[in-house]
Amino acid sequence: MRPIRRRCARASDGPADVDKSGALIDTSVLLDYLLADKRAQRAIGSYAHRSISVVTWLELMALCPPATLEPTRGFLRTFERLSINESIADAALLLGQRKPGLSVAQALTWASAQVNQLVYVTADARHVAPSDRNVVVPYRWDAAPAGRRAAKAAA
């Protein structure tokens, strides 16, 4: 399946029309990265400036088995961690209203990308529409592989 890439309201012709300078990486892609998914490794490696939301940091650290807490914390320190502020909360509320079923965590993460003018990189495309701007879906998170289910069960 071809990855969905969106920079503007029109369909993308490929990676050339997506700004690769800065991105906010969603929990879905980072979880796959930590589970050694090559697709996630390629997606994360293609951005010069990488950020995460404080929500993503908390989700990943909460899922982390005790034996990997410190290495995971060290890995996450390589990303700029963005705090939640009033502008992000307002944008998250609007996203939640426009996209029924979007979780509060995903709305806050996506809004963090919007407010900070970063590309939002996610593998969880359930709520991504072709008209969504500055969203990159490098691969789809359709069914949870055994490793992802095991990571969730460890939490």
Q: Phi/psi class of residue 105: alpha, beta or left (left: φ > 0; alpha: ψ in -120 to 50)? A: alpha
Q: Confidence band (pLDDT; 50, 70, 90) for 129?
A: confident
Is 13 among the domain residues?
Answer: no
| Overall average pLDDT of the 130-155 stretch | 68
Q: Is residue 129 part of a domain?
A: yes
Residue with tokens 């309201």: 9
pLDDT of 139 > 70? The answer is yes
Contact 105, 59 (CB under 8 A): yes
Distance CA 65, CA 16 (A): 38
- What's the CA gap between 111 and 53, in Å, rounded? 9
Domain membership flag for residue 81: yes
The encoded tokens of residue 149 equal 């289910």
The tally of domains found in the chain comes to 1
Residue 39: domain span: 4-8+19-154
6/112: higher pLDDT: 112
134 vs 7 pLDDT, higher one: 134
Gap between the Cα atoms of 37 and 108, Å rounded = 25
Confidence (pLDDT) at 19: 57
Q: How far apart are CA 24 and CA 50, in angstroms?
A: 6
Mean pLDDT value across residues 65-76? 96
- Report yes or no on 96 lying in a domain: yes
Helix or strand or coil: residue 110? helix
pLDDT band at 11 (very low <50, low <70, confident <90, very high): very low
Give the whole-angstrom CA distance, residue 75 versus residue 56: 13
Q: What is the predicted pLDDT for the residue at 25?
A: 97
Q: Is 98 among the domain residues?
A: yes
Q: What's the pLDDT at 20?
A: 65
Whether residue 143 is contained in a domain is answered as yes
